[in-house]
Amino acid sequence: MSDNLAKASRHLSFLKARERWKPAEMAFWLLLIGVYFVFPSSLVFASQILITGLFALSLDMILGYAGIVTLGHAAFFGIGAYTAGLMAANGLHDPFLGLLGAGIAAGIAGYFCSFLLSRGGDLTRLMITLGIGLLLYEIANSATKYTGGVDGLQGVEIGKLFGLFSFDLYGKTAYIYVLCIAFLLFLFTRSMMHSPYGLALRSIRENQTRALAIGIPISACLTNIYTIAAVMAGIAGALLTQTTQFVGIDVLSFQRSADLLIILIIGGTATMYGGFIGAAVFMFVQDRLSNLNPQYWQFFLGILLIVMTLYLRSGILGGFSRLAHAIGNRRNKEQP
Amino acid sequence: MHSLLGVLFDGLAYGALLFVISVGLSITLGLMGFNNLAHGVFAMAGGYLLVTLMSKAGIGFLPALPIVFCAVAAGSLVLERTLYRSLYKSTPLNQVLLSVGIIFVATAGTNYLWGPGQQPVVIPEWLSGQYDFLGLDLSRYRLFLMAIVALITLALVFGLERTRFGAKIRASVDNQRTAESMGIRVDRVFQLTFALGSGLAGLGGALGVDVLGLDPNFAVKYLVYFLLVVVVGGPGSVFGTLLAALLLGVADIAGKYYVPQFGAFIIYVAMIILLLLFPHGLLGRRKSK
Please give, one letter per residue, the 3-state secondary structure of chain A. CHHHHHHHHHHHHHHHHHHCCCHHHHHHHHHHHHHHHHCHHHHHHHHHHHHHHHHHHHHHHHHHHCCCCCCCCHHHHHHHHHHHHHHHHCCCCCHHHHHHHHHHHHHHHHHHHHHHHCCCCHHHHHHHHHHHHHHHHHHHHHCHHHHCHHHCECCCCCCCECCCECCCCCCHHHHHHHHHHHHHHHHHHHHHHHCHHHHHHHHHHHCHHHHHHCCCCHHHHHHHHHHHHHHHHHHHHHHHHHHHCCECHHHHCHHHHHHHHHHHHHHCCCCCCHHHHHHHHHHHHHHHHHHHCHHHHHHHHHHHHHHHHHHCCCHHHHHHHHHHHHHHHHHHHHCC
Q: In the beta sheet, which residues pair with residue B137?
A: B132
Polymer length of chain A: 336
A312 touches chain B (CB under 8 A): no
| Alpha carbons A184 and A62: distance in angstroms, whole number | 19
| Chain B interface test: which of A257, A309, A314 (most B C-beta within 10 Å) | A309
Q: Is the confidence at residue A194, as pLDDT, over 90?
A: no
Percent of chain A residues past pLDDT 90, beyond the cut: 25
Minimal Cβ distance to A299: which of B108, B269, B279: B108
CB B160 within 8 A of CB B170: yes
All domains in chain A, ordered by first residue: 41-334 (1.10.3470)
Question: Which among B93, B227, B235 has CB closest to A69?
Answer: B93
Residue from B168, B203, B178 nearest B66 by CA: B203
Instruction: Measure CB to CB from residue A309 to each of B94, B112, B228 and give the nearest one.
Output: B94
- Pick the closest to residue B50 from B193, B201, B196, B191 (CA basis): B201
> Which of A162, A22, A10 lies closest to A94 in space, CA to CA?
A162
- Closest-CA distance of chain B to residue A59, Å: 13
Per-residue pLDDT, averaged over A158-170, amounts to 76
pTM of the complete model? 0.83
Q: Is A149 on the interface with B (CB under 8 A)?
A: no
pLDDT of residue B86: 81
Query: Residue A336: pLDDT above 70?
Result: no
Contact list, B103 vs chain A (CB under 8 Å)? 302
Q: Which of B233, B260, B231 is nearest to B244 (CA)?
A: B233
Of B98, B108, B263, the CB nearest to A298: B108
pLDDT at A2 > cutoff 60: no
A57 phi, psi to nearest 5 deg: -65, -40
pLDDT band of B288, cuts 50, 70, 90: very low
On whether any CB of chain A is under 8 Å from the CB of B131, the answer is no
Q: What is the DSSP string of B38-97?
A: THHHHHHHHHHHHHHHHHTS---HHHHHHHHHHHHHHHHHHHHHHTGGGGTTS-HHHHHH
CB contact under 8 A, B97 and A71: no
Please answer yes or no on whether A141 and B263 come within 8 Å at the CB atom: yes
Q: How far apart are CA B155 and CA B149, in angstroms?
A: 10
CB of B259 less than 8 A from some CB of A:
no
∠ Cα B42 B118 A143 (to 5°): 100
Q: Which of A138, A302, A313 sits opposite B102 (nearest CB)?
A: A302
Distance CA B219, CA B45 (A): 10
Q: What is the pLDDT of residues B47-64, one digit of tens each?
A: 999 999 888 888 888 888
Query: Would an 8 Å CB–CB cutoff place B166 in contact with chain A?
Result: no
Q: Which residue of B has its CA nearest to A68?
A: B93
Closest CA to B249 of B2, B10, B4: B10
B97 and A309 within 8 Å at the Cβ level: the answer is: yes
Task: State the sign of the Cα–Cα–Cα–Cα dihedral B240, B92, A81, A301.
Answer: negative
Average pLDDT over residues A40-62: 91
Judged by average pLDDT, the poorest of A222-226, A319-323, B72-76 is: A319-323
The interface predicted TM-score of the complex, written ipTM, equals 0.79
Contact B231 A127 (CB under 8 A): yes
Between chain A and chain B, the number of residue pairs with CB atoms below 8 A apart is: 125
State how far the Cα of B188 lies from the Cα of B210, in Å rounded to an integer: 35
Instruction: Tell whether B248 lies on the interface with A, counting CB pairs under 8 A.
Output: no
Q: What is the pLDDT of residue B228?
A: 84
pLDDT tens readout for residues B98-154: 888 899 899 889 988 888 888 887 777 777 777 766 666 778 888 888 888 889 888
Cite the beta strand spans of chain B per DSSP E: 130-133, 136-139
pLDDT-based confidence at residue B7 (cuts at 50, 70, 90):
confident
CA A285 distance to own-chain centroid: 19
Measure in Å the smallest separation between the Cα of B269 and chain A Cα atoms.
7
∠A125-B225-B10 over CA atoms, to 5°?
150
- By CB neighbour count within 10 A (0-12 exposed, 13-18 middle, 19+ buried), where does B244 fall? buried
Q: Greater confidence, A276 or A11?
A: A276
Our CA dihedral for A120, A121, A122, A123, rounded to 10 degrees, sits at -70
Contacts of A84 (CB under 8 A, 6+ apart): A98, A99, A101, A102, A156, A237, A238, A241, A242
Separation in Å, CA of A26 to nearest CA in chain B: 31
Among the residue ranges A120-124, A176-180, A230-234, B193-197, the one predicted with the least confidence is A120-124
Question: Contact A242/A167 with Cβ under 8 angstroms?
Answer: yes
**What distance in Å separates residue A301's CA from the closest CA in chain B?**
7
pLDDT over 60 (residue B285):
no
B93 touches chain A (CB under 8 A): yes
CA proximity to B201, closest of B61, B32, B25:
B25
Which residue in A261, A268, A244 sits closest to A81, CA to CA? A244
Is B289's pLDDT higher than 50? no
- What is the mean pLDDT of the segment spanning B213-226? 84
B224: which chain A residues are within 8 Å (Cβ-Cβ)?
A: 127, 130-131, 134
How many angstroms separate the Cα of B216 from the Cα of each of A185, B45, B108? 40, 10, 7
Single out the residue of B288, B226, B221 nearest to residue B25, CA to CA: B226
Mark yes or no for CB contact B279/A124 under 8 Å. yes
Confidence band of A4 (pLDDT split at 50, 70, 90): low
Percent above pLDDT 90 for chain B: 15
The predicted pLDDT at position B159 comes to: 87
CB neighbourhood size of A148 (10 A): 20
Residue B252: pLDDT over 90: no
> How many other CB atoms sit within 10 Å of the CB of residue A311?
8
Residue A127 with chain B: CB contacts under 8 Å: 224, 227-228, 231, 271, 275
The pLDDT of A170-192, averaged and rounded, is 91
User: Which pLDDT value is given to residue A178?
Assistant: 93
pLDDT at position A187, please?
93
Confidence grade of residue B287 (pLDDT, cut at 50, 70, 90): very low
Closest CA to B267 of B256, B283, B278: B256
CB-based contact, A150 to chain B, within 8 Å: no
Does pLDDT of A333 surpass 70?
no
The alpha-carbon gap from A74 to the nearest alpha carbon of chain B, in Å, equals 16
- Whole-number Å distance between alpha carbons of A149 and A169: 26
Mean pLDDT confidence for A159-177? 80
Q: Which residue has the higher pLDDT, A307 or A316?
A: A307
Question: What percent of chain B clears pLDDT 70, i.e. is strictly above it?
Answer: 94
Instruction: Report the chain A residue with the minimal C-alpha distance to residue B33.
Output: A123
Of A69, A305, A306, nearest to B92 by CB-CB distance is A69
- Band (pLDDT 50/70/90 cuts) for residue B209 is confident
pLDDT of residue A51: 94
Contact of A263 with A279, CB cutoff 8 Å: yes
Query: Burial of A1 by CB count in 10 Å (0-12 exposed, 13-18 middle, 19+ buried)?
Result: exposed
Q: Is the pLDDT of residue A79 over 80?
A: yes
* Least Cα separation, residue B98 to chain A (angstroms): 5
Closest to A306 (Cβ–Cβ): which among B83, B90, B272? B83
Q: Which residue among B108, B261, B268 sits closest to A295, beta carbon to beta carbon?
A: B108
B92 contacts in A (CB within 8 Å)? 69, 122-123, 126
Summarised one tens digit per residue, pLDDT across range A12-25 is: 777 777 778 888 88
Do residues B99 and B43 make contact, with C-beta atoms less than 8 angstroms apart?
no
> Which residue of B22, B85, B105, B221 is the best one to mutate when testing the A interface, meaning the one whose CB has the most A CBs within 10 A?
B105
- What pLDDT score does B280 carry? 72
Partner A, chain B 98-127, Cβ-Cβ below 8 Å: 98, 100-109, 111-112
